Amino acid sequence: MTDSILKVDNISLAFGGVKALTDVSFEVPRGAVFSIIGPNGAGKTSMLNCISGRYRPNSGRIQFNDRDVTHLRPNDRADMGIGRTFQNLALFGHMSVLDNIMVGRHHLMKNNWLTGPLYWASPAQKEELAHRREVEEIIDFLDITHVRKAVAGTLSYGLRKRVELARAMALKPKLILLDEPMAGMNLEEKEDMARYILDLNEEFGITVVMIEHDMGVVMDISHEVMVLDFGKKLISGLPLDVMNDEHVKRAYLGLEEDEVMQEAG
């Protein structure tokens, strides 16, 4: 993790007179699990939206793999290898788990409107089979084989979160943006999700930028942590250094040192 896969330079974003982000800069090392924390309204999701292309910042620059992507569309960024999950689930509830994940492969498919209709007499069949094989590997990796044919909208919340992660992985991302992947989960579901995130980082080599409120998870799996407050960067660094910062403990967490460590442990 000696070089940076993502560089964010002086990003500012405003909605009318409301400043969501103000001159935020940071770098994400290649191969890292990088967590963004902060109170509600701190600008965390706005930052992910700027990185993924959903929002266009008013000023500043975003570089991915040393390429300026500040003004690229979300689809172009996905093509380059930026995947995304959302705080609120964005699955197609009427479709099966398998079909939802296959949607994530769409931008990788080479057959077009001319060759697609000739399915049985063109490379389209082979291509779809190859994509399905890779999707099945992701399904197996996330332990959702037993629901692969189930309608996504009928699944429990924890399983739907896992399916959304599977769809993001299906993009074959180099960088994956996770917006509160463990929100609303019970302890067992959180432990499972943390393990999957670590495994996709270590086994698949995917760099992770994650928003998360659970300080125990942040301390356990993050290589680096950045704190946002009112759209401004407070501090970034190693998890323990960040949690020991007096400004973070008092202004953000509102806890004394022993309470911080108890919350994180």
CA pair distance 164, 166, nearest whole angstrom: 5
What pLDDT does 256 receive? 46
200 - beta bridge partners?
A: none
What pLDDT does 109 receive? 55
Q: Are 36 and 5 in contact (CB under 8 A)?
A: no
What pLDDT does 113 receive? 42
Strands 224-229 and 33-37: parallel
What pLDDT does 112 receive? 47
8 - beta bridge partners?
A: 26, 62
CA pair distance 221, 210, nearest whole angstrom: 10
Give me the residues of the chain with pLDDT under 50, please.
1-2, 112-115, 118-120, 256-261, 263-265
What pLDDT does 127 receive? 66
What pLDDT does 129 receive? 72
Q: Model-level pTM?
A: 0.85
137: CB partners within 8 A, 6+ apart: none
Q: How many residues does the chain have?
A: 265
What pLDDT does 257 receive? 46
Q: 4-81+173-264 in CATH: which number?
A: 3.40.50.300
Q: Which of 205, 213, 212 is nearest to 5 (CA)?
A: 205
CATH 3.40.50.300 in the chain, residue ranges: 4-81+173-264
Residue type, 127: E
What pLDDT does 108 receive? 55
Q: Which of 113, 28, 21 is nearest to 63 (CA)?
A: 28
Residue type, 180: E
* Four-residue CA torsion sign, 214, 19, 47, 22: negative
